[in-house]
Amino acid sequence: MSDTVKYLLPEDRIPKNWYNIVADLPEPPAPILHPGTGQPVGPDDLAPLFPTELIMQEVCADREVEIPDPVRDVYKMWRPAPLFRARRLEAALDTPAKIYYKYEGVSPSGSHKPNTSVPQAFYNKEEGTKRLSTETGAGQWGSSLAFAGNLFGLQVDVFMVKISYQQKPYRRALMESFGARCVASPSNETDSGRHVLSEHPDSNGSLGIAISEAVEVAAKNDDTKYALGSVLNHVLLHQSVIGLEAMEQMEIAGDHPDIVIGCAGGGSNFAGLAFPFLGRQLREGGNTRFIAVEPAACPTMTRGTFAYDFGDTEHLTPLVKMHTLGSTFVPEGIHAGGLRYHGMSPLVSHVYDLGLIEARAYHQIECFKAGLTFARSEGIIPAPEATHAIRAALAEAEACKVSGESKTILFNLSGHGHFDMQAYTDFLGDKLEDHAHNEADLKQALGGLPDVAAE
């Protein structure tokens, strides 16, 4: 048998509908609350930030939502994304496990994020938005929205976490190449940014701060809406194309995953792959395990609290019930910038709370090590975020070697690491450090959770 096994779907097999797990959950997720009243938000509360269609998707309980033709048409630029059987990796590990990965790095920005930036730009354009404001950590979301905004004729302003702005000039160049404007956050362009700078002039920034800036710009400008690259229900809905395709590809492979793995920052690529499989399991039964993998420096699920919290540092967003480290928690500057968010998607948090998925945390050095093992077998340099999924896949393959079981492992390779070579340079030069989360900072941030009469 050939060593390289790649499962491709024809273009017309791009899903026609997104999948919404809310329809299959044993209990509905908690509603989004208005921070002032403590009552569930209505569509009007969210209207300054999002177009109507995305607000409807945010509260949608239907199992399927149709993908508009113009969105499917853009998806065709890189979808269906390939599914690989990692035979060379299996051989290198000498494991009886079968390892598959869904590769989302084939998109224009090199990650899964355009799966949602494209529909977000499309709905905004349809409803007359002129400009999108957003934040970006490592730059993957900013470049994905820059790409999509440009296709649909929208101006895109990106608040980029300052440390990444300085460390990742090529991501910035990518955003600017797609026509976006990129600002280091905290900036002087918003009250939120000025407030942070007045207290911490040397602030490296954080996703929570950059979100405050982007939300503020949208709230204050009628022609501008806000776009978020993860966490929210409509984002997870759009990402379901990953798992829907993978289900079909696994069928072609004649296999069924015993374990489904994804790294988790805000939870969208994990959910994108896992939720279609989990939904089927909830409807029809099954024994697949689902593992969300987070960095030990930002252990939202494994160490956080399940509570109502703000999505941003300056407390401009509505309250969502999620696993959180507290909205003021600023994690160490690990290289997996996309995993440095204080909260976790409410839907991922909810299924974790229901015991339907597992979570675990790894340190960055062991993840980079796993990433290199993968790269040397499969020829793809994984994004630092994705190395967390690989680390977990390797652990499961190792467990199979010990037990002699031949389990089928499927993980999401959420992106390539071609813009993250500095991280690999640091790793190869022995310059990386493992940061655990700071226990005192965590305690303080969790102490500041908003008071909500939450269940």
Ligand X SMILES: *Cc1c(COP(=O)(O)O)cnc(C)c1O
Tell me which residues in 211-230 interact with ligand X (CB under 6 A): 230
From the CB of 95, what's the least distance to ligand X, in Å? Answer: 24
Which part of the chain contacts ligand X (CB under 6 A), choosing from 90-98, 165-173, 250-258, 265-273?
265-273
- φ and ψ of 224, to 5 deg: -115, 135
From the CB of 189, what's the least distance to ligand X, in Å? Answer: 24
What track of x and - describes contact with ligand X for positions 409 through 438 (by CB under 6 A)? Answer: -----xx-----------------------
How far is residue 438 from each of residues 139, 156, 173, 218, 339, measured CA to CA in Å?
A: 25, 35, 33, 33, 16
Site membership for ligand X, residue 114 (CB under 6 A): no
**Residue pointed to by tokens 């050939």:** 2
Instruction: Give the one residue of 140, 240, 324, 387 binding ligand X; rule: CB under 6 A.
Output: 140
From the CB of 336, what's the least distance to ligand X, in Å? Answer: 8
Closest CA to 157 of 130, 192, 127, 138: 130
Instruction: Give the one residue of 107, 133, 269, 300 binding ligand X; rule: CB under 6 A.
Output: 269
Closest CA to 205 of 272, 268, 136: 136
Helices (H), 51-113: 52-58, 69-75, 87-93
Rounded CA-CA distance 19/12 in Å is: 17
Instruction: Give the one residue of 111, 120, 190, 233 binding ligand X; rule: CB under 6 A.
Output: 111
Site membership for ligand X, residue 107 (CB under 6 A): no
From the CB of 140, what's the least distance to ligand X, in Å? Answer: 3
Which part of the chain contacts ligand X (CB under 6 A), choosing from 63-71, 82-90, 383-391, 437-445?
383-391
Instruction: Give the one residue of 247, 359, 383, 423 binding ligand X; rule: CB under 6 A.
Output: 383
User: What separation, in Å, do the N-terminal and C-terminal C-alpha atoms of the chain show?
Assistant: 55
C-alpha neighbours within 13 Å on the C-beta side of residue 3: 8
Which part of the chain contacts ligand X (CB under 6 A), choosing from 153-161, 264-272, 366-374, 401-409?
264-272
From the CB of 269, what's the least distance to ligand X, in Å? Answer: 3
Instruction: Give the one residue of 149, 257, 266, 326 binding ligand X; rule: CB under 6 A.
Output: 266
Rounded CA-CA distance 393/99 in Å is: 8
**Residue pointed to by tokens 């024994």:** 287
Rounded CA-CA distance 440/417 in Å is: 32
Which part of the chain contacts ligand X (CB under 6 A), choosing from 31-39, 166-174, 198-206, 382-390?
382-390
Rounded CA-CA distance 141/378 in Å is: 25
Tell me which residues in 312-341 interact with ligand X (CB under 6 A): 338-339
Pairing of strands 64-66, 5-7: unpaired
From the CB of 228, what's the least distance to ligand X, in Å? Answer: 10
Q: Total residues contacting ligand X (rule CB under 6 A)?
A: 20
Rounded CA-CA distance 407/401 in Å is: 10
- In the sheet with 155-161, reading across from the earlier edge strand, the strands are 181-185, 155-161, 131-136, 224-226
Question: For binding to ligand X (CB under 6 A), which residues are involved?
Answer: 111, 113, 140-141, 230, 263-270, 338-339, 383, 385-386, 414-415
